[in-house]
Chains A and B, each alone.
Chain A
Amino acid sequence: MVHRGKSLKQLSYALLYLSPSLLIFIVFIFFPMAKTFYLSLYLTNPHGDPVVWKGIQSYVVLLSSEMFRKSLWSSLLFVFFTVPGTILVALALALLANVRLRGIAIFRMLYSSTIGVSVASAATIWMFLYAPGNNGMFNYLLGLIGLPKVGWLVTTQTALPALSLMSIWMGLGFNFIILLGGLQSLPEDIFESARIDGAGWWRQLRHITVPLLSPTLFFVLVVDTINAFQAFGQFNILTQGGPDNASNVIVYSIYREAFFNSRFGPASAQAVILFLIILTLTLIQFGVVERKVHYQ
């Protein structure tokens, strides 16, 4: 009895400290997530009140809809274009900057600079770089080396890769910081003995650096994938899901269904699918981080 009273007192004391955060989480994360599930089973009126029960049927309709499948496919393509590109370029930059040279701090700062660039400003700048006319910078540069003009954001085949290229650039700063941190934490003596054994630069990279860096690489892989699935601003500013729905990724599709068409029910069902994708990715990440801790 005494014991239970004590632990109850402890709990209520701890809750004093936890309640501000808990309150926000309950009101703006847990309750809305439950409500998204709930709404996904209904058709709503324009005010967002559920009116027609659809149940699991709404998911059957969604998954068999041509439009949604295309969205899912576009999201996957976008992730597939963006994530490996970001990691490869950022890794190259991190390897370059992982040396002791005078002025290296300046290069490191420049390489991490895109972490401060918002999606709205990045998209605006790239809108001009991609401008279809003569004075679009990229088309001008292509012309200089004798290549034909590219439609970038205005043709169905190039819109998604163009959005990826811009997103790769945006992600460089964050990826660079994390990967450089990873490189700097690798033990120096392994490279020393490899050099004595006569291993060249490429063999050191392939057989020592990349395997040792794999936990960090895995971390950025998962974080980048989650971020790419959640990307929205560049789609809204540069293509509005077009041309011909070529870039109508899931998040953009949720936005359009909910806030233009006021179809809150089907939009919620898409939001649930997005949640399941992100949840899976996060669980994988936590699982691996957990294992990593055990190894150490």
Chain B
Amino acid sequence: MKTGLMKKRFTRFVQYLLLTIGALGVVFPILYAIGLSLMSAGEASSYPPHMIPHHLKFTAFPAAMETAPLGRFMLNSFVVSLIVTVAQLITASLAAYAFAFLEFPLKKILFLLFLSTMMIPGESTIIPNYLTMRSLGWIDTFRGLTVPFMATAFGTFLLRQYFLTLPKELFDAARIDGCGRFRFLWSIVLPMARPALGTLGVYAFITTWNQYLWPLLMTNSTSMRTVQIGIGMLQFQDATTWNVVMAGVVIILLPSLLTIVLGQKQLVKGLTTGAVKG
């Protein structure tokens, strides 16, 4: 009896130990960045290198904001991500509604056409898109950064799957009540689909916030840079200011990490239903 309890306790101890080692391994680079950002320039470049600051210093953060207009970059990224997220929610809801609730000829073909966009990697279309943007004069504009991403096949598929789980009788009941089809979408389907919309919203926001190649090509002026590109401005400054670079990294990591923490449940649910249920 007693040895059984001991054994159980020991197993639990080993489990926690392994879990903690795993966690330290995974978050090590992030902790390293946070640690460096809280050091003075001297401590950050000292040998042996410190993981944990011996003297807490917050000077790196104002220094980072001064070296590069990080506030402006954050604002640009925020505006771009917000516009893309809202646009994707609208276009995907509309399309998913048609695929889930309406009967029309060519439905299958149109649905396949949507899905086929997922087989075309952005890198394969980037040259013509860049040339188009340049000839339209959309370089260094929010239009150039957002318009190409305003529709999403993945999001349409995700919402359609969710809409299909809603009871079909709703649709008939609404029609008998004389509820118009658009009003049915707006005041019945969308409120019920809030979890799926949340998943898509979080996913769209993070993906756009983290974009790299397209904003790199689309922005030339400092005032239009997004954070992901702007962070590069810190690296090529003086090599001894590691603390300042890491302060910049911490500043741009915060919004997406916060989104993950707050939207974790929905994101996990959304991603796994897609993968596990096929």
Stretch among B164-172, B191-199, B256-264 lining the A interface: B256-264
Tell me the A216-275 residues at the B interface (CB within 8 Å).
216, 219-220, 226, 229-230, 232-233, 236-237, 251, 254-255, 258-259, 264, 267-268, 271-272, 274-275
Q: A119-B228, A226-B121 are in contact. List 10 more A-B contacts (CB 8 A).
A: A117-B257, A118-B256, A137-B49, A169-B26, A172-B26, A180-B272, A182-B275, A233-B212, A271-B125, A275-B120
A33 at the interface (CB under 8 A from B): yes
Report the Cα distance A7→B152, complex, angstroms.
27
Which of chain A's residues have a CB closer than 8 A to the CB of B16?
101
Of chain A, the residue at the smallest CB distance from B18 is A96
Q: Which of A113, A120, A230 contacts B229 (CB under 8 A)? A: A120
Contact call A10/B22, Cβ cutoff below 8 A:
no
Q: Which of B30, B98, B253 contacts A17 (CB under 8 A)? A: B98
A177 at the interface (CB under 8 A from B): yes
- Interface size class for chain B? 35 or more
A39 to chain B, nearest CB (A): 7
A185 at the interface (CB under 8 A from B): yes
Which of chain A's residues have a CB closer than 8 A to the CB of B177?
none
B interface SS class: helix
A202 at the interface (CB under 8 A from B): no
A25 at the interface (CB under 8 A from B): yes
Of chain A, the residue at the smallest CB distance from B248 is A124
Q: Which of A18, A114, A121 contacts B231 (CB under 8 A)? A: A121
B217 at the interface (CB under 8 A from A): yes
Q: Which of B106, B124, B131, B229 contacts A274 (CB under 8 A)? A: B124
A97 at the interface (CB under 8 A from B): yes
A2 at the interface (CB under 8 A from B): no
Of chain A, the residue at the smallest CB distance from B211 is A118
Which of chain B's residues have a CB closer than 8 A to the CB of A32?
125-129, 132
Report the Cα distance A279→B126, complex, angstroms.
16
Stretch among A55-63, A65-73, A103-111, A154-162 lining the B interface: A103-111
Contact call A125/B118, Cβ cutoff below 8 A:
no
B206 at the interface (CB under 8 A from A): yes
A281 to chain B, nearest CB (A): 9
19 contacts between A and B (CB under 8 A): A24-B147, A93-B26, A107-B23, A119-B210, A120-B227, A121-B228, A128-B36, A137-B51, A172-B26, A177-B272, A178-B275, A181-B276, A259-B130, A275-B124, A278-B119, A278-B121, A282-B118, A283-B119, A292-B278
Contact call A20/B278, Cβ cutoff below 8 A:
no
Report the Cα distance A278→B117, complex, angstroms.
12
Of chain A, the residue at the smallest CB distance from B272 is A181
B15, B147, B156: which has the most chain A beta carbons within 10 Å?
Answer: B15
Of chain A, the residue at the smallest CB distance from B213 is A232
B202 to chain A, nearest CB (A): 10
> 1/0 contact trace for A270-296 toward B, CB 8 Å?
011011001100110000010011001
Which of chain B's residues have a CB closer than 8 A to the CB of A112?
260, 264, 268
Which of chain A's residues have a CB closer than 8 A to the CB of B256?
116-118
Contact call B95/A21, Cβ cutoff below 8 A:
yes
A4 to chain B, nearest CB (A): 9
Q: Which of B26, B114, B152 contacts A111 (CB under 8 A)? A: B26
> 1/0 contact trace for B94-105 toward A, CB 8 Å?
110110001111
Contact call A13/B102, Cβ cutoff below 8 A:
yes
Q: What 8 A-B pairs are tightest by C-beta distance, nearest first? A: A181-B272, A118-B210, A24-B151, A32-B125, A32-B128, A17-B98, A21-B151, A35-B128
